[in-house]
A and B are shown apart, each in its own frame.
Chain A
Amino acid sequence: MRFGPAFASAALGLALGLASLPGVAATLATALGLPAGAPLGLERLVGLGRAHMVLALSGFALAGGLGLGLGLLAARAGARLRGTVDALATAAQAAPPVVVIGLALPILGFGAAPTLLALALYGLMPVTRATADALATVPPEVRGAAEAMGLTPAQVFWRVDLPLALPPILAALRVVMVTAVSTAAIGALAGAPTLGTPIVVGLQNQNGLSLLQGTAAVAALAFLADALVQAAGALLRR
């Protein structure tokens, strides 16, 4: 039951992945009456998928890792810094990833860099805020009891603070993973080769088949990545 949501996401992801294959997508496109165009070959699809995943995972690692570290620092520094983190988190959400990519384009140029920046900016603050807030909600009495039992500060952190604060942190990491896959797709606009590329090309050239393939493949990746994070979370919470 604990792995149920992860299985559901994985199954949906696999089904969508099947739908993105050239033959299946062609049948679907004819059924929908879309303006058919040249299909996306299997090798190209797999190559784009790999590039997409590399971009999304590095963004996830960047935002998640930095966010966890900053969150720990913010929690240590006390309530005042948490106010700053809250304000920054709200402000960072005000600029959607597309806009950040657009703004970064003149500075960083075409390619993967603007997408990574958008991911870091958009994903960083939710993780930081969730980590800081979650650590702050650990009751001081519990921590005091652990200290009284003779645990060292490091032990208190690993055995008391972290397990108690884990669920909100995992939820934030899941959001960042989904955001990472989604933002990597938008990165196609800045010239990064991702599964968003066939979507953008399909929209521009009225190629319904390429549009459909890209759509199904991006959604498939998102659900598979989501399944991965959910399964990892279920394992950690055991």
Chain B
Amino acid sequence: MVACLASLAFAALFSAKWPAAGLGGSARRGDASNGEMTRRLLPLCAAGLVAAALAGLPLLTFAPNRLVPGDPVAAGWPGLGPAALALAAGWLTSGARPGRALPLAALIAALAGLGVLGLMVGEGAARLLAGRPAAARASLGAGAWLAGFAFLLLSAEAARAIPGRAGRPLALAGGLALAGFAGWSGLFDAVSLAVEYRARAGAVQAAVAQHLGLSAGALGLALLVSAPLALLLLRGGWPARGVEAVLNGVQVVPALALFAALVSVLSGVLAWLPSLRALGLAAIGPTPAVLGTAAYVALPLVQSLAAGLASPDPAVLESARALGLTRLQVLLRVRLRLGAPLLLGGLRVATVQSIGLSTLGGLVGAGGLGAVVFDGMAQFAPDLILLGAIPVIALSLAADRGLALLGPREARAARVSA
């Protein structure tokens, strides 16, 4: 959950949607004053969250081994440092008017606070473990997670208050510099998550590769299937309605049930046709995971592809045909190119979904990061769960952001060629 909160903060920080939301905003006065209030309140709330988290929640937990729940270790007086920096950042952000240097100072204060928090956590963990047996673990406490999340939120708010578009790159550069320093100096080496990762680096890296393979395989399969289905949908009539009904019906079936049903059906089919085993198909393993994931992500792909192909103006299609283009040329050069932005939106949804759904593959023996998460759940080892969960979340966010970056350029190209 804490990692999830941190990921929320990252998305808020790096989301491309901010400028658009600001520009498209309604000009009604009531909205503006309410928005102004949130703008002032949010940084102060985040700063208060840092102070409360450091004062009331454990910064670290210490346990004699990785399985027993640890004893809380409070931040103590040093916690006043980051709390003061957070309050300063919050006050500077909420009081800042556009065009002043205050938001920049706020951003620096927020990033400095994050750095001090990191130092406290890293040093504290090292101090706790000094002279203890190797099995002892110092894990991040709820206070550290929450304060870190609030600091990210503060940095995002401060970055957004900086006039022009310089804020986000500045905040991103500052954050990367902090992360780079932490990695280079081995600041967090004593924290249990890093210890767990060092013990299983090979397995986790293999799981990431497997996970990417599962998601990419499902996405590729779904793309192959969705091209003819989208053409059917474009044509209309009862086949189109049938395709839509089946694809929508699949969405209703819970993922766990679909994966399990595929295991049953595949074992039945393989018992009838054992020769299929020679193709590498099996009832347990990647086959049901890839098939199930592909069945889910086919809907966004087919819908966006059909919508994209249907999007060009009839006049454009008419003139393309008048120019002597064949039906295939119209499809590939006009419909597909003009519909690309819509298809890209569907691809983005499908990619995020397929990364998430592949996690369930761990249940049907397909491996991947899901297997790491389920191992951690079975052993009740929080760090192992995090080792599986953090890459899943990071991969989804990276895929979403990466494909979103492609979007506007694609749209511009389509407009120019139109």
Contact = CB atoms under 8 A, between A and B. Distances in A.
Contacts of A211: 260, 263-264
Interface string A85-125: 01110111111101110111111000000000100010000
The A interface, classified by DSSP as helix, strand, loop or mixed, is helix
Nearest to B18: A83
A102 B4 CA distance: 11
A102 B385 contact: yes
Interface in A1-60: 8-9, 12, 29, 31-34
Contacts of A223: 252-253
A32 B21 contact: no
Interface in B240-288: 245, 249, 251-258, 260-261, 263-265, 267-268, 271-272
A215 B257 contact: yes
A77 B38 CA distance: 8
A190 B377 contact: yes
A166 to B, nearest CB: 20
Interface string B223-255: 000000000000000000000010001011111
Interface residues of B, number: 71
Interface in B1-39: 1-4, 7-8, 10-12, 15, 17-18, 20-22, 24-26, 28, 30-32, 34-35, 37-39
Contacts of A188: 256
Given A102-B373, A102-B376, A219-B253, A78 B267 contact: no
A77 B34 CA distance: 5
B44 interface: no
A91 B8 contact: yes
A102 B389 contact: yes
Contact of A178 (B7, B251, B357): B251
A76 B35 CA distance: 9
A32 B8 CA distance: 45
B194 to A, nearest CB: 17
B331 interface: no
B128 interface: no
B374 interface: yes
A76 B31 CA distance: 7
B393 interface: yes
A11 to B, nearest CB: 12
Nearest to A217: B257
B357 A96 contact: yes
B256 A93 contact: no
Contacts of A96: 356-357, 359, 392, 396
A88 B12 contact: yes
A32 B31 contact: no
B3 A103 contact: yes
A103 B385 contact: yes
Contacts of A202: 260
B144 to A, nearest CB: 14
A188 B272 CA distance: 32
A106 B7 contact: no
Interface string B106-131: 00000000000000000000000000
B166 to A, nearest CB: 19
B17 A185 contact: no
Contacts of B25: 78-80
A155 interface: no
B363 interface: yes
A208 interface: yes
A96 B35 CA distance: 31
B288 to A, nearest CB: 10
Contacts of B1: 100, 103-104, 107, 117, 121
A226 B252 contact: yes
Contacts of B34: 76-78, 81
A87 B11 contact: yes
B26 A103 contact: no
Given A203-B364, A211-B263, A98 B35 contact: no
Interface of B: 1-4, 7-8, 10-12, 15, 17-18, 20-22, 24-26, 28, 30-32, 34-35, 37-39, 42, 142, 245, 249, 251-258, 260-261, 263-265, 267-268, 271-272, 352, 356-357, 359-360, 363-364, 370, 373-374, 376-377, 380, 382, 385-386, 388-389, 392-393, 396-397, 400
Given A105-B377, A216-B257, 13 more contacts: A86-B21, A90-B15, A93-B356, A99-B392, A102-B388, A103-B389, A189-B377, A215-B264, A219-B252, A219-B253, A219-B254, A222-B253, A223-B253
| 3 closest cross-chain pairs (CB), A and B | A83-B21, A78-B31, A79-B25
Interface of A: 8-9, 12, 29, 31-34, 76-84, 86-88, 90-96, 98-100, 102-107, 117, 121, 136, 140, 178, 181-182, 185-186, 188-190, 196, 199-200, 202-203, 208, 211-212, 214-216, 218-219, 222-223, 226
